[in-house]
Copies of this chain bind each other. A is one copy, B any other.
């Protein structure tokens, strides 16, 4: 008895290739293909798949909505969300609505199969890159909630300063930073001196720690 899998994705190419992939493993059967949330719900009700592979972003009813309905309709069904790199808070919402796993599109066949099996057996499956994104999102949430409590009255940081903080957060020496942004080493030192004063820190190591924990590393300061 093979595992019935429903595939939901609005991109035909992705849908079909996933279908073929699933179909080529005799432990699985494709219970259906849907290109939108509405159809997905209809098929899910009729076919009662064990597993749903679903894109988060879709027209009409998006993945999150669909997840909600399917989870409510069919007890015990497992839903694995497919994400691309750029989807963000969606991951959080999917998690909140009972998604059983997350997979990056572009995952290898082997990983895909393994993930489905894992989820079927009750484990949660998050592929590494997605996990990282999720944790970044939570980090940002934590920080943004914390705003207003701790870090006040820290002087405004200029783009240059932010950029240098970032480079320090990557472990660079003053010379390396110099080669990166083409200021003299002395100037870099002056900048850092100002950064330390503004952030009330003592040395570059503390700056690096601040850089990572503040989420500054995630931003873009291409000057």
> Does A161 sit within 8 A of B, measured CB to CB?
no
Asked if residues B135 and A139 are in contact (CB atoms below 8 Å), the reply is: yes
A128 at the interface (CB under 8 A from B): yes
Within 8 A of B (CB), among A117-152: 124, 126-128, 131-132, 134-135, 138-139, 141-142, 145-146, 149
Q: Inside 8 A of A24's CB, which chain B residues have their CB?
A: none
Q: Which 8 A-B pairs have the closest CB atoms?
A: A131-B142, A135-B138, A171-B206, A205-B205, A128-B145, A205-B208, A128-B146, A135-B139
Chain B proximity mask over A186-223: 1 for CB below 8 Å, otherwise 0:
00000000000000011111101100110000000000
9-residue interface stretch from A14-22, A36-44, A92-100? A92-100
A49 CB-CB contact with B under 8 Å: no
Asked if A72 is an interface residue, CB under 8 A from chain B, the answer is yes
Query: Which B residues are in CB contact (< 8 Å) with A98?
Result: 96-98
A63 part of interface (Cβ distance < 8 Å): no
Query: A97: which B residues are within 8 A, CB to CB?
Result: 98
User: Do A205 and B204 touch across chains, with their CB atoms under 8 A apart?
Assistant: yes
Is the C-beta of A168 less than 8 angstroms from some C-beta in chain B? Answer: yes
